[in-house]
Amino acid sequence: MSKIFFTRSFVIYFFFSQILIILSNTSLILHQINQPPLSVYPLVNTEWTHDFYLYLSVVTQGKSGSWLYSETYTSEPTKPGFFLFYYILVGKMAALFNLWPPVAYHLARIISLEFFILLVYLLCYQILGQRLAILGAGLSLFTGLSPLPLFKETLNLQFYPAGYPWWMSFDTLERLNGFPHHIFGQAILLLTVIAVIHFVRTQKWRFAICSAFLSLIGGLLFPPILGPLVVCLSLGLIIYSLPIIRKLFWDKWKLIAGILLIIAASSAAYLMVIWQQHQGFPWNQWASNELIRWNTNEPNFNYSLFFFFGILPVIVFPTVIKSVFSRRFEDYLILFWAIYPFMLLPFATTLGLPKIRLLQEAPVVPLGILAGASIGRIIPKTSGNIFRLVIIVAVITFGLPSIITIFQERLSTLPLFVSGHHFHIPRPTYNAIKYMEDNLKPYSLILSEQMMGNIIPAFIPVKTYVGHFTHTINFYQKEQLTRSFFAQTMKESEAKKLLVDNNISYVYQGENERLINNILLKYSFLEKIYEKDEIILYKVL
């Protein structure tokens, strides 16, 4: 198998994939180059900075010794859970090599990304063979969105990032710049499919057991991959096992038993995910918020989905027809995986499934495989290699305008973040965070404005009163109470009650807090323990 990665086709594929990775990290590189003086750049590579710092906070927990994620952005007691365990493991790597959490985060992202890229090619090689592997892998990796005018939403830089439609995050370059646990989960899905196909072809139990193990672990690390595993394997097995298609049903008992084992492992992981969601905040709020966000507040989601994969759905049609009548289990698996988002879309709300999750299991990969088969096997039989080349160029050209436009829009937003805490933390602010790391007890509770409440736990193992709109109980109510506290419009007794009732031990007053009221806090129950460069940390007496 190692010879696969020394072929000319793979070298070409790998070379251009690395160019894509570099382009996808252009914003990260330019932010580093244009870092303002007297600031710290925590390597933020997404406009959804609240989630970026959330994941850093989990890395920090793992680095500090935790094995399960405990909520850091709310004052109420919550139950630890295995969600986001990927970042706990990244934290263990950070502890082992003494890495800064942002460095560990991006190191894990790059490793996951390279792993994903290798597995895309390996899966295409396994299904399409050596000659067509580069075709399927290239289409899987390089295919962009349809031309942007086909979408109902438009880009609106004035309201960045809220003015950016959701589907921008699934463009060619943006897929490679995604959150690392998404990329790693998709890589595990690819590896599981590879193992499943090995089992189907060899009937060796070790591949079935390996597939079952991967589906269980991968599903716990990134639950969206469980959908195609449970649904597509089940549908594939049903079609494959119909007596009208497979007369020798009982002769295939080993294959059927192995696939059922994999389905059982995936289902077990799914049940564990459901159990975790019923363990209270924040797990239950994730599910409800995502259903509202994606199934209610995005009225054009269904429409946009049909332009999501560029021209690939048109090209795959000949291979879809061929797969239906192929009587091969692996063909059924790839086919159902490719159409999985479209199959479940009408039933997503009924099933309690956020629609966005239908697109987080790398559906462009099976579509790329089917498209590669259509171009490389079916079209040449009637039209020759010249027409095949024309089709390949057409696919790239069809998606290229959207890739270029989105890339340019991303770069045009850089001036919006030449300063500011979320992208570039002022050095005095970061020095105060380092002081807290050295002097505060682990998981002390801190009151600050919500932006700093989001940032501080990303670097040190503490909790904040308000810091993330999904991970803070009663976020908007707490945000208003926080503003009243720093504006000093509360009575002293009310302010003290706020701190005591929420077990708050420290109050942070920095640049953002001074924007609420640029005067020192005069509450008698606060004692200054740190004051430097207009950053003050108070201890609650």
Tens-digit pLDDT profile for the chain (541 aa)?
568 888 888 999 999 999 999 999 998 998 888 888 899 999 998 888 899 999 999 999 999 999 999 999 999 998 899 999 999 999 999 999 999 999 999 999 999 999 999 999 999 999 998 888 988 999 999 888 888 888 887 766 555 555 578 888 888 998 999 999 999 999 999 999 999 999 999 989 999 999 999 999 999 999 999 999 999 999 888 887 765 445 555 567 788 888 889 999 999 999 999 998 888 888 888 778 888 889 998 888 999 998 888 888 888 888 888 888 777 889 999 999 999 999 999 999 998 889 999 999 999 999 999 998 888 776 655 555 566 566 667 777 788 888 888 888 888 777 766 556 788 899 999 999 999 999 999 999 999 999 999 999 999 999 999 999 889 999 999 999 999 999 999 999 999 999 999 999 999 999 989 888 888 888 999 999 999 998 999 999 9
213: nearest Cα among 234, 231, 188: 188
Q: In whole angstroms, what is the distance from residue 182 CA to residue 207 CA?
A: 24
Phi-psi region of 424 (alpha: psi -120 to 50; beta: other; left: phi over 0): beta
In this predicted structure, what is the pLDDT of residue 163? 59
What are the strands, taking DSSP E only, across 119-275? none
Q: How many C-beta atoms lie closer than 10 Å to residue 318's C-beta?
A: 16
260-287 in b/e burial notation, b at 16+ Cβ within 10 A?
ebbbebbbbbbebbeebbeeebbbebbb
In this predicted structure, what is the pLDDT of residue 418? 56
In this predicted structure, what is the pLDDT of residue 155? 66
- Max Cα-Cα span within the chain: 86
In this predicted structure, what is the pLDDT of residue 198? 94
Q: Is the N-terminal amide bond of 161 cis, ω within 30° of 0?
A: yes
In this predicted structure, what is the pLDDT of residue 420? 63
In this predicted structure, what is the pLDDT of residue 419? 53
In this predicted structure, what is the pLDDT of residue 111? 97
* Residue 15: Cβ-neighbour burial (10 angstroms; 0-12, 13-18, 19+): exposed
Query: DSSP labels for 260-279?
Result: HHHHHHHHHHHHHHHHHHTS
* Dihedrals phi, psi of 467, to nearest 5 degrees: -165, -15
- Which amino acid, 114? E
* Residue 188: Cβ-neighbour burial (10 angstroms; 0-12, 13-18, 19+): buried
Q: Please state the pTM of the whole predicted model.
A: 0.92
431: nearest Cα among 486, 514, 510: 510
Phi-psi region of 338 (alpha: psi -120 to 50; beta: other; left: phi over 0): alpha
